[in-house]
Amino acid sequence: MAERVIPLVDHRAAALPPPLARAPVAAGTLRDARGRPLRDLRISVTDRCNFRCSYCMPKDVFDSSYAYLRHADLLSFEEIARLAGLFAARGVTKLRITGGEPLLRKGIEHLVGLLAALRTPGGRKLDLTLTTNGSLLARKARALKSAGLDRVTVSLDGLDDAVFRTMNDVDYPVAEVLAGIDAAQAAGLAPIKVNMVVKRGANDGQILPMARHFRGSGVVLRFIEYMDVGATNGWRMDQVLPSAEVLRRLQTEYALVPLAASAPGETAGRWGYAGADGRHDPALGEVGFISSVTHAFCGDCNRARLSMDGKLFLCLFASQGYDLRALLRSGTPDELIDAALAAIWQGRADRYSELRASLPPEAAHALRRVEMSYIGG
Ligand code: SAM
Ligand code: SF4
Ligand code: SF4
C-alpha cells in the first residue's frame, strides 16, 4: 500500500524576534499592530483525545499510525505555569485549559492548582476555565474544583444517543457526558457552558432538543458554526449552518431577545429567552452563537494560544507558532522571555476570519493550517 503522508502540523517554528527586538518593553498591557490587547490565553495540554469528532480528529487520519507527540516534547506543568505567569504580567486575565482532551493529561489537577495560584499585576486571581468533551468529568469535577478551577465548558453535539455516538465516532454514550455536566454543576464549576458544533445534515436536527433540554437549567448553550480549521476535516461551506439560521429555528419555538456582549473580545453573540412580558427572563437563561464563518470578529480578538509543545500561536488559523519551549529549555531568564512575548504580540496583525470573507472559499481553505486538536478551540 502506498504510504499516505498528510501534513497536519507545520513543525517549522516561526522565527523568534531577533535579540535586538527583545530589548525590554515597558511593563504593562501589550497592544498588537491593530491595537488589540492580550487578555486571553488558551493552553493546550495534550494532542490526544478519546473521541474522533469528524470535524476535528477524523478517524481515517487520527488512527493507530498517527504520530502523537512524545511526553518529553510536552511542556511540563511547571513550564506552562511559568509562561502563564509571564502572560499574566502582560495583561492576560483569562486562562483556558484545552487540547486534545485535557482531562486525559495525567495529574491535570496539579496544573490547575499552579494556574489558580497566579495573580494579575493588580493582585487578582485569573479567570480559570477548561474545555472538555465531558467523558471524564463525572470522575474529576470535584478534584478540579478543589484545585481552583472556576468553570468548565463542555462540548456536546446532540442529545439523541445515536446522533451523539455518530458525532464522537467512538460510539460514546450521551448519558455519560450528561452525568459529567451534572457532576460539574454539583461541584460548583458554574456557570457551565455547553458548546454544540452544528454540522448541516449531521446534527442540525438536535438544535431544538438541545435548547429544550438546557433552557432554564443554568447551563448556557452555545452554537458554533462548523469552521474550516486544520487541514483534515474535509470542510465544505455547504456543511455550515449559519448562526442566523440556527436562531431562526429556535425562534419557531421560543421568543429570544438580543443581549449585550458580556466582555470586550467576547466570541459569542448572546440572546436571552424572553418571559411573558417580552423581556429577557434570567431564570430561563440565554444561548450564544459563535459565528466565526459568517460573522468575523477579529476586530477585538485578544486571544493567544499555546500548544502542548510550547509554540505560541497568534490566531486559530495560523500555520506557524513561535517556539517558546526553545527559550524555556535553553535557560533564558524571565526578562528575555517577557521581551520576546512583547515583541511577538506587538507584531501581531492576524485577522484570518475577516480576510476569509474576501477570498474564494477554496482559496481560503487551501491555506495550510494547524489542527484544532493541536492548539485547542
Ligand atoms: N476536547 C475538548 C472538547 O472537545 O471540548 C477540548 C478541545 S476541542 C478542540 C475545543 C473546541 O473546539 C470544542 O468545543 C470543539 O467542538 C471545537 N471544534 C473542534 N473542531 C471544530 C471545527 N471544525 N469547527 C468548530 N468548532 C470546532
Ligand atoms: Fe476530541 Fe474535542 Fe476534537 Fe472532539 S472536538 S475530537 S472531543 S479534541
Ligand atoms: Fe482571532 Fe484569528 Fe479568529 Fe480572527 S481568525 S478572531 S484573529 S483567532
Domain annotation for the chain: domains and CATH numbers: 11-375 (3.20.20.70)
Bridge partners of 322?
A: 14, 312
57 Cα to the center of ligand 2, angstroms? 7
Compute CA distances 361 → 236, 351, 364, whole Å: 9, 16, 5
335 Cα to the center of ligand 3, angstroms? 28
Q: How far apart are CA 351 and CA 299, in angstroms?
A: 8
Q: Is 51 in the pocket of ligand 2 (CB under 6 A)?
A: yes
Pocket perturbation via mutation, ligand 2, pick of 62, 133, 197 by most ligand atoms within 8 A of CB: 133
196 CB neighbour count, 10 Å cutoff: 25
H or E element, residue 303: strand 303-306
- Statement: the pTM of the whole predicted model exceeds 0.75: yes
Q: What pLDDT, on a 0 to 100 scale, did the predictor assign at position 20?
A: 44
Can you tell me which atom of ligand 2 is nearest the CA of 52?
Answer: 6
352 Cα to the center of ligand 3, angstroms? 6
Which residues have CB under 6 Å of ligand 3?
297-298, 301, 303, 315-317, 350-353
Pocket perturbation via mutation, ligand 1, pick of 172, 198, 241, 372 by most ligand atoms within 8 A of CB: 372
Can you tell me which atom of ligand 2 is nearest the CA of 197?
Answer: 5
The pLDDT averaged over each successive group of 10 residues in the chain (377 residues) is 43 63 70 96 98 95 94 98 98 97 98 98 97 98 98 98 98 98 98 97 98 98 90 84 97 97 81 97 97 86 96 90 96 95 94 78 63 75
Can you tell me which atom of ligand 3 is nearest the CA of 353?
Answer: 5
Q: Whose CA is nearest to atom 4 of ligand 3?
A: 298
Q: Is 310 in the pocket of ligand 1 (CB under 6 A)?
A: no
Cell (9 digits) for 298? 477579529
**What spatial distance separates the first Cα and last Cα of the chain, rounded to whole Å?**
35
57 Cα to the center of ligand 3, angstroms? 21
Q: How far apart are CA 19 and CA 345, in angstroms?
A: 15
- Say which ligand is closest to the CA of 302: 3
Q: Is 373 in the pocket of ligand 2 (CB under 6 A)?
A: yes
Q: Whose CA is nearest to atom 11 of ligand 1?
A: 377
Q: What pLDDT, on a 0 to 100 scale, did the predictor assign at position 292?
A: 84
Q: Is 53 in the pocket of ligand 2 (CB under 6 A)?
A: yes
Task: Find out whether the peptide bond into 121 is cis, omega within 30 degrees of 0.
Answer: no
333 Cα to the center of ligand 3, angstroms? 30
Can you tell me which atom of ligand 3 is nearest the CA of 301?
Answer: 1
- Say which ligand is closest to the CA of 303: 3
Per-residue burial over 97-119, b = 16 or more CB atoms within 10 Å of its CB, e = otherwise: bbbbbbbbbeebbebbbbbbebe
- Say which ligand is closest to the CA of 224: 1
